[in-house]
Chain A
C-alpha cells in the first residue's frame, strides 16, 4: 500500500535521526552496564517492552500532541524533575521504538519501509521535544554535546546554587544526604524492576573553579502510576525528588543519555560539599524547595525520607518475591514502555489503559521470551550481530569499526515507486496480570484521582510557557538583564528561594558565591 506524499528531505532527516540513535544505542549498551538480574527476567521484559513501544508509541504520541505540542512539553520539562528527561527522552523514546522495529525486521515480520509515516512522526516528535528541552545548550542530545547535559537557564541555576547548604564528610547533613541517596537509589532500581530509569543525573554546571554542580532526580517514588506501588508507597510524601549536589575537586567529564556520569577523579562521598532538595511535577510551578529552611531541617528530612524509602523497599521486595514470572515480565515491560508516560501527564491525557497494559499485538510474542532466547536476541539487537545489522564490508560503524548499522534506514526507493505501508494502526486493547491500579496519584497538589489530575494538568500553565516569558531565552537575558522584564522573569524563579527572593536579574555567579560565603561566615550555611 502506498498513500500520501513523502519528500526526499523528510526521509533524509528521518534516517539521520535514526542513525544518531543507532550510534548512541550501541555506545550506551556496550559501555554502561550488563543487563542481568537473578530476581527479574530482565531481557524477557525488555523484549516485550520494545514490542509495546513499536505498536503504541505512534498513536499515543499523536494523542498527546492533540492537546500539546512536543516543543511545549519540552519547554515545560526544563522546570521539573520528572520522567521526561535523559533516559526517557534522550534515548528511550526513539531507542525502544527502533529496537522493536529492528527485531520485527529480523523476524521477517516487517520491512524497513513498513509503517513509514509512524517512523517519520516518532522521530520528528523526538527531534522537536529534544531541541526544545535542550534549547539552552543548543544540542539535540547529550551525545551531540560531547556527553553533557546543561539544559537549565541561569535563573534556575542561581537559585539551586544560592540555596544549597554546605556539608562535609562526617557532618550530620552529609551523612543524612548520602544515606538518603543510597536508599533511594536502591528503591529506584526495585520500583523500576532492576532498571535505572527512576534515577537521572544532569549537568555538570560550574559553581566555582574547584566545584561543579550536578542535579540528581529520583522519580516515581510514591503511589502514582505503577500498580505495584499501591499500598507499599502510601507513606512516601513526594513522587519526585530532586537533589542538587555541589562536588569539590572533581570534574564530571561525561553525562550520557541514560543520565549516568563519569568523573575524574572518581566521585566519592567525601567530595560532596553542598546539597539541596526539591520536588516537582507537571502541576508545580517549577522546583519546589523541600525542608530548605535550615541545614538541620534538611538533614532531618533526608533521614525521615530514607526511613520511608527503606520501609517501602522492604514491603515492595516481599511483594515482588511472591510474583509469578508473568507478573515480573508485565511490571518490567510496563516500566520500560511507560518510560515516556509523563508526556501524557503534562498534556493532561494520561489513561491507565494506554500506559499500564500490554497491547495484544505485543502480548502474542510472550511465549518466545524464555531467558536464553531473550538474552541472546537482546544482545544481538544492542551490539549489532543480527542479519539486518550487517552492511557492506567497506563500512566502519562508529565506535566498533565493524561493517554494521544498528538500525535500518528507510529505503529511499519508496520515493521511486517501491511500495510501503504508512502505519501500524491505532492502539489495540491491552491486558495485564498486575492488580488494577488504584485511583490514587501523589502530586504536588496532594493525592488526586486521575480525573482530577488530568483536569488540573490541562489547566496549569507554568510561567515557563506563559507567552509573556516563554521566548525570553538566555540570549535575550544576555542583552536585557537590566530591564524590568528581566527582573520580573528572575523574580518569578526566585519566589521560593531562601537567599534570592526578590533579587532580580542582575546577579552574576560570583555574586551568588559571595552571598553564600558571607552567609556561611555568619550563620553557618
Chain B
C-alpha cells in the first residue's frame, strides 16, 4: 500500500483525542487506497485528483464508521443536537426537565449553612469587584428557545442567569436585563465576561456549582477580588463564593 509523507514521522504518532485519532486514521487509510488506485502519483493527487477521489461522501463515511462502534458525540451548540439527536449524547436541562435540573460540578466547593443561613454551593472567577454582594433568583438559560421565551414574556426581576455558554451571543437580546450571571465555563476574558463588565452586571465565570435549582435564591460574592491574568497564567486560585439562600 502507498505510504504517506507523514507515515515516516520520527516524533509524532498520535494526538490527545481518541476521536481525532480515529478520524485521521480512517482518512489516511482512504488516501493510501486512492493513491494506490492512481499509481501513487502525489503531484497529480494533491491539488487535483484528490478533490474527486476524497469528497463529501467519503468524509461522511468517516463519521459513520465511528458511529457504528456505538460512539455518540459530545455536543456544544444546541442546534447540533437538535438537528441530529441520534449522533450526539442527550441534552438535559433545556426543556421540560428544567425544574429538576442543576449543574453538578465534581469540584464544587460546598459548605453547611452559615449563621446567616447561606449555604455555599460553589465558587467562580469574579469578573469585576463590586462594593456589595449580589442577591437574586437563579434561572437556567441554556437554549435559544428559553431566550426567545424570556424575550417575549420579559426577564423576571432579580434574575441571576445560570449559563454554561461563555459566549456572548446566546443571551444577546436579554443579557442587559440580568441582575447577575453565573457562568459554568470560560474565563473572565471570555466574551460573556467582557460583556458583563461593559454592562456593569456582576458575574462569575468558570463557576463550579452544585445543587442550585431553578428559582433558588442565590448570593454571589462579587466583593471578592477580580481574577487576574497572572492568576490564570500561574494557576493561582482566586475565587468568589456562590451561596444558596433560604427560600
Chain A residues close to B by CB (< 8 Å): 1, 31-34, 36-44, 105-112, 114-115, 178, 181-183, 185-187, 189-190, 193-194, 196, 254, 260, 262, 266, 268-269, 313-314, 317-318, 320-321, 323-325, 328, 360-361, 363-368, 370-373, 375-377, 379-380, 385-393, 403, 419, 421, 423-425
Contacts and interface: CB of A to CB of B under 8 A. Distances in A.
Interface string B158-173: 0000011111111011
A-B pairs, 8 with minimum CB distance: A387-B12, A390-B12, A37-B167, A182-B198, A376-B17, A38-B165, A372-B73, A367-B60
A185 B194 contact: yes
B77 A186 contact: no
A373 B154 CA distance: 37
B6 interface: yes
- B: contact size bracket: 35 or more
Interface string B59-80: 1101100000000011111111
Given A193-B169, A313-B172, A40 B12 contact: no
B212 to A, nearest CB: 18
A399 to B, nearest CB: 10
Contacts of A266: 128, 226, 228
B13 A375 contact: no
Contact of B6 (A178, A325, A388, A424): A388
B77 A425 contact: no
Contacts of B63: 367-368, 370, 373
A196 B167 CA distance: 10
A488 B47 CA distance: 53
Contacts of B148: 318, 321
Contacts of A41: 76-77, 79-80
Contacts of A317: 147, 169, 172-173
Contacts of B5: 108, 111-112
B167 A109 contact: no
Contact of A424 (B47, B151, B173): B47
Given A38-B165, A313-B172, A421-B47, A108 B6 contact: yes
B90 interface: no
B77 A40 contact: yes
B128 A268 contact: yes
A371 B80 contact: yes
Given A183-B176, A266-B226, A367-B56, 9 more contacts: A38-B143, A38-B144, A106-B15, A108-B5, A108-B7, A110-B46, A182-B195, A254-B229, A373-B63
B153 to A, nearest CB: 15
Interface string B133-161: 00000000011100110010000000000
Interface string B2-23: 0011110111111111011001
B190 to A, nearest CB: 5
Nearest to B175: A186
Given A321-B147, A325-B80, A40 B88 contact: no
A16 B76 CA distance: 36
Nearest to B35: A108
Contacts of B229: 31, 254, 262
Interface in B178-196: 185-187, 189-191, 194-195
A275 B4 CA distance: 58
Contacts of B16: 376, 379-380, 385
A108 B59 contact: no
Contact of A189 (B10, B28, B172): B172
B155 to A, nearest CB: 13
Interface of B: 4-7, 9-17, 19-20, 23-24, 27-28, 31-32, 42-43, 46-48, 50-51, 54-56, 59-60, 62-63, 73-80, 83-84, 87-88, 128, 142-144, 147-148, 151, 163-170, 172-173, 175-176, 185-187, 189-191, 194-195, 197-200, 226, 228-229, 232-233
B166 A36 contact: yes
Contact of A364 (B14, B31, B55, B194): B55
Given A314-B173, A365-B59, A376-B20, A388 B167 contact: no
Contacts of A110: 46
A107 B28 contact: yes
A339 to B, nearest CB: 17
A421 B77 contact: no
Given A194-B191, A377-B17, A403-B11, A38 B54 contact: no
A379 B16 CA distance: 9
A51 to B, nearest CB: 11
Given A41-B80, A108-B28, A386-B15, A33 B190 contact: yes
B31 A108 contact: yes
Given A37-B77, A37-B170, A380-B16, A324 B83 contact: yes
B23 A368 contact: yes
Contact of A372 (B19, B51, B189): B19
